[in-house]
Structure 1
């Protein structure tokens, strides 16, 4: 269940959303605290740079607090893609995760038609209780990192109900699933460092498509879960929104991710090429 919860916390964006022709360059550096039932679970960092032709997103995370005493874990992820014809076009995604029990890595290459190449370690072996991933499930999808960017079309205020009007079709190399967002309200949020202002709150509904085991308790729980939310805040000077906070109800408490630092600015000159977002 925890893996599904963390996936839901991080994959919260806009599949196929259009963007206007006039689009400023922007950069976000954010640091998050992750908790479960009020106890610190881990720390994460996110770095995003986007302009009118391309984007780069990278993130990292690690377990901390009481959880670290019983299980170590850390990971990094990154994605690159194009911005063209009014939509995000992912081109590559990479993820690595290391714990005291296993090491996992995923590499995806994509074009306009979908996934063109993938490497998953350890591999997913077919089993009678797992829904197989079909070729069609790898088409028209977003990777989890690209799905962390919400582009809102039009000229109206991006922090609006329109940001939540979307269904995210996500493939993470192992599973294909949908996250459907719906408007809940507008809240005021404030980071210890950086952004203070409005955020649009979207309710999330999870629907597995393939790669999952329908009989698993965690999958059934998340499908019925009505208490999953994301707070989306703007990247200054752009029409991009990024998660400021996310929460998922679990059987043992509320899993939450919240920004402690959320610093955005317009890009000037040549963009950098971030490799990994640093951890606090």
Structure 2
């Protein structure tokens, strides 16, 4: 059966929804970078699209002696198996008093027979190496990257960990500069509200989510037409964060990316944290 142009665009939009969500979903800390970092965070999330469960996301991060090393894996199957997507993500770097300093980032995903990978290397706080597979030249209408676009930026995984500099009373007021190997963009966080939370098993942590509205602002490396009447609502992405005072961190509990064809949603299933003093904290939805 032939796939119509509209159907192909919908499936392309679906892929974009989860690519954005998966690449921006690691740990967020509420305390300044320092000795209060937990030693490990292991989390699993369920993925849904338009109300239907479509996959899972697994995340693991270790923090040790002023460094971080994080890995994630996402797997999606939707449209009765017509759409399949699997991706792996990793990032590492240093946790310095002046802020987060990424060292390397890798992302790879497979969709049907297509394989894509991105590798980014850093020196200091600037991008020094980018390797893309396939390595195709950008379209003529792509906004060209400038040298300054690659300075003082975070890769997608480091971007969310960089939220660690937040004041716990103001977790949703920041702008995060990101480079994902092709595109340079800003994530504008603003406070949206709070909502109560229920637990199957009491964890002893506050039963409340802090909800941030996140606006995706393209800077370079993108095609302007992709942001003219786009499928994804880039202005109203939503991060719901949960404070975990015993570990000194916030964790993402839910990420929602809206679109006219349905919302892509990541929701926490289990989150297990080993705090700096070896306390075990288990959160369940």
Q: Normalising by structure 1, what TM-score?
A: 0.82
Deviations 1:238-272 (A, max 9, x none): 43323210111101011111011112121568xxx
Aligned residues of 2:99 and 2:165 also touching (Cα < 8 A): no
Q: 2:81 aligns with which of 39, 45, 69?
A: 69
TM-fit CA distance, 1:131: 1.1
Q: 1:128 aligns with which of 140, 144, 147?
A: 140
Greater length-normalized contact order (CA 8 Å, ≥ 6 residues apart): 1
Partner of 2:248: 239
Distance change >3 Å, CA 192–CA 172, structure 1 → 2: farther
Aligned residues of 1:186 and 1:201 also touching (Cα < 8 A): yes
Partner of 1:229: 238
Aligned residues of 2:193 and 2:212 also touching (Cα < 8 A): yes
Partner of 1:272: none
Gap runs ≥5 in structure 2: 1-12, 279-285
Aligned residue pairs, count: 261
Confirm or deny that 1:147 pairs with 2:159.
yes
Distance change >3 Å, CA 203–CA 135, structure 1 → 2: same
Q: Secondary structure at the match of 1:136?
A: helix
Distance change >3 Å, CA 120–CA 236, structure 1 → 2: farther
Q: Secondary structure at the match of 1:250?
A: coil
Gap runs ≥5 in structure 1: 270-280
Distance change >3 Å, CA 96–CA 175, structure 1 → 2: same
Confirm or deny that 1:99 pairs with 2:127.
no
* The structure with more radius of gyration: 2
Q: Secondary structure at the match of 1:212?
A: coil
Deviations 1:140-198 (A, max 9, x none): 111111123231455xxx3x3x2111111111101111110001122233566786632
Distance change >3 Å, CA 42–CA 12, structure 1 → 2: closer
Confirm or deny that 1:38 pairs with 2:51.
yes
Deviations 1:47-106 (A, max 9, x none): 122256111111001113x43611322111100010112411111101111121410111
Distance change >3 Å, CA 257–CA 81, structure 1 → 2: same
Distance change >3 Å, CA 181–CA 80, structure 1 → 2: same
Confirm or deny that 1:199 pairs with 2:209.
yes
d(CA) in 1 for partners of 2:134, 2:200 = 39
Aligned residues of 2:247 and 2:276 also touching (Cα < 8 A): no
Partner of 1:163: 171
Query: What value does the CA root-mean-square deviation take over the aligned residues?
Result: 2.8
Q: Secondary structure at the match of 1:19?
A: coil
Partner of 2:66: 53
Partner of 1:255: 264
